[in-house]
Amino acid sequence: MQVLLADEYGFCFGVERAVEMVEEAVGHGDTVRSLGPLIHNEQEMQRLGEHGVTTISEPVQIKRGETAVIRAHGVTPDVQRELEEKASKVVDATCPFVTRVQKLAARAAEKDRHVVIVGSPDHPEMIGVKGYAPDHAFVIRDETEVAGLPRLRNPLVVSQTTIKAKTFFDTAEAIKTKTDGEVQVVNTICSATRDRQDAARALAGMVDVFYIIGGRHSSNSVKLLAVCEEQCRKSYLIETKDEIDVADLAGAERVGVTAGASTPQWLIRKIVEHIDHLGKLSDESLTLA
Ligand code: F3S
């Protein structure tokens, strides 16, 4: 049995950077507290927890002497200010791709232009970006919500970094009906999600079983599962090696593996080694038979 890894999988650049920044702060002996879970992966959160990293839900919970972490999603300028006032140090791990969207929104608002962000209004990244264009920004999910927008002043249209390109461009097109001014459309979708999906799609048709390693609450992992299921009926989203049912591997010649953008390398390695081990066992039992 062969185990094949997708060409792109696991931590995206922004998440990897955030984890490295937190590890560096821990290495300096800081008491590190992340505003919201640093990543959507229970196992990695557990590992960081063993190094003393804890999670808070409100900036008010941070105390002097502690290091506050802004995760890759970013926060509003107000929240950032509050953290800077309360904490002894702030580690700003906002992904640079998100910072770019924040800056674009802030610049447009300074010129009194409207900003339409295509994404989920309750997603932390969207709440953060909206905060950079107070009284000027609207967050809408897709083109069906364009009708609810007021007339727009030379709008800037940007996207949540993880949405589908089609949703973004269809919405941007529909927004043109809402203004007599100029519409500036800037595609701020990050390629990390798409790259992982493309790589999974390329592999799914070649394997008998596909394991997607990722958190059940990680939306990009759930999307990867859907992509794999299109071509490989036996696709499974797993968080740990214990969730692998050996019976699913019976008769499998090729097993595909990919992982969501919040899945750490050490966990992927552990699971791949386990699948390899199971494969060797079944090969041996076939030889004995
Ligand atoms: Fe950044 Fe893209 Fe990851 S925006 S946090 S590199 S998915």
* Whether residue 15 has its Cβ less than 6 Å from ligand 1: yes
Q: How far is the CA of 245 from the centre of ligand 1 (A)?
A: 32
What distance lies between CA 252 and its chain's CA centroid? 31
Q: How far is the CA of 95 from the centre of ligand 1 (A)?
A: 6
> Quick one: which atom of ligand 1 is closest to the CA of 15?
5
Sole residue written with tokens 């048709």: 205
* Whether residue 161 has its Cβ less than 6 Å from ligand 1: yes
Instruction: Give the residue, by CA position, lying nearest to ligand 1 atom 2.
Output: 190
Q: How far is the CA of 233 from the centre of ligand 1 (A)?
A: 29
Cα separations (Å) of 63 from 68, 84, 91, 96, 220? 9, 11, 14, 27, 33
The predicted model scores a pTM of 0.88
Q: Which residues 6+ apart lie within 8 Å of 247 measured at CB? A: none
| R_g (Cα) of the chain, nearest Å | 22
Among 8, 44, 125, 239, the one annotated catalytic: 125
Pairing, β 137-140 against β 235-238? unpaired
For residues 202 and 7, is the Cβ–Cβ distance under 8 A? yes
What pLDDT is recorded for position 287? Answer: 56
Residue to probe by mutation, ligand 1, list 95, 101, 187, 263, most atoms within 8 Å of CB: 95
Instruction: Give the residue, by CA position, lying nearest to ligand 1 atom 6.
Output: 14
What pLDDT is recorded for position 164? Answer: 86
The CATH class that applies to domain 13-95 reads alpha beta
For residues 197 and 228, is the Cβ–Cβ distance under 8 A? no
Per domain, the residue ranges of the chain are 2-10+191-288, 13-95, 97-185
Instruction: Give the residue, by CA position, lying nearest to ligand 1 atom 5.
Output: 14
For residues 24 and 59, is the Cβ–Cβ distance under 8 A? no
Residue 210: phi, psi to the nearest 5? -130, 125
Sole residue written with tokens 């920004």: 137
What pLDDT is recorded for position 284? Answer: 66
Of the candidates 91, 35, 39, 88, the one whose C-alpha atom is nearest the C-alpha of residue 63 is: 88
Mean pLDDT, consecutive 10-residue stretches, the chain (289 aa), reads 96 96 97 94 93 96 97 97 97 98 98 97 96 97 97 97 92 97 96 94 98 89 94 97 94 96 95 92 61
Assigned CATH for 97-185: 3.40.1010.20
What pLDDT is recorded for position 285? Answer: 63
Q: Which residues 6+ apart lie within 8 Å of 29 measured at CB? A: none
125 part of the active site:
yes
What pLDDT is recorded for position 279? Answer: 84
First to last CA, the chain: 16
For residues 102 and 125, is the Cβ–Cβ distance under 8 A? no
* Whether residue 101 has its Cβ less than 6 Å from ligand 1: no
Assigned CATH for 2-10+191-288: 3.40.1010.20
CB environment 127-156: b (16+ within 10 A), e (fewer): bbbbbbbeebbbbbebbebbeebeebeebb
